[in-house]
Structure 1
């Protein structure tokens, strides 16, 4: 890998899926159409990631993933109720 290329960090991967899920739920850019199915898909991917990496993450990475999932699931449930 050259110096100009950035290594993908685990936190960046998690935050990318979080950002996508939030966007699909209608948070952020108000011009983007809401799509709860795609939001759930991103949340499910994070859940799968949590399951498959269990015991192989640093405390910080594990906390980030756990907190992100909790926050996204709460927001998703709220969005479903408001649909």
Structure 2
């Protein structure tokens, strides 16, 4: 007995692909895009500075270099006992973890030198200065 194999059909229901397919049928057929002219809008200086495609969700912060550095700094402050741990609500000092986060921010400063805006560079330097100062203060308090 020969069984007839039933085929199946796969449809991509992702909204962004459907809109793209409807708007640009000529690209699907193999037409080439025209080269961007020099009078077109200037492109971002680097891929890391591109804005997210949509608005941030309610209650969330924009994802950019500055918010990333602030997130790391908050983590360091939690490890230094300056802020309560959001998971436990308690303050505890973990100097090795704090040192690691501060070193990571320092590494980012070194690797991004010359590629940051003036505001980003200033923020990075101020955060590092503050965190290093707090680290020394906490370390001195813990020594007998």
Aligned counterpart for 2:81 among listed residues 3, 7, 26: 26
- Per-residue CA deviations over 1:8-60 (Å, capped at 9, x if unaligned) read 21011100110000000001216142101100100000000000000000000
Q: Are 2:110 and 1:51 equivalent residues in the alignment?
A: yes
Q: Is the 8 A contact 2:76 2:97 kept in 1?
A: yes
Deviates more, 1:23-32 or 1:39-48: 23-32
Q: Is the 8 A contact 2:82 2:91 kept in 1?
A: no
The CA RMSD measured in Å over matched residues stands at 1.7
Indicate the residue corresponding to 2:66 in structure 1: 11
Q: Which runs of 5+ in 2 are unaligned?
A: 1-51
**TM-score after normalising by structure 1:** 0.90
| DSSP 3-state at the match of 2:83 | coil
Separation in 2, partners of 1:35, 1:51: 25
Q: Is the 8 A contact 2:77 2:83 kept in 1?
A: yes
Q: Which runs of 5+ in 1 are unaligned?
A: none
Indicate the residue corresponding to 1:80 in structure 2: 139
**TM-score after normalising by structure 2:** 0.53
Greater fraction of residues in helix:
1
Alignment size in residue pairs:
83
Q: Which has the larger radius of gyration?
A: 2
Q: Is the 8 A contact 2:79 2:98 kept in 1?
A: yes
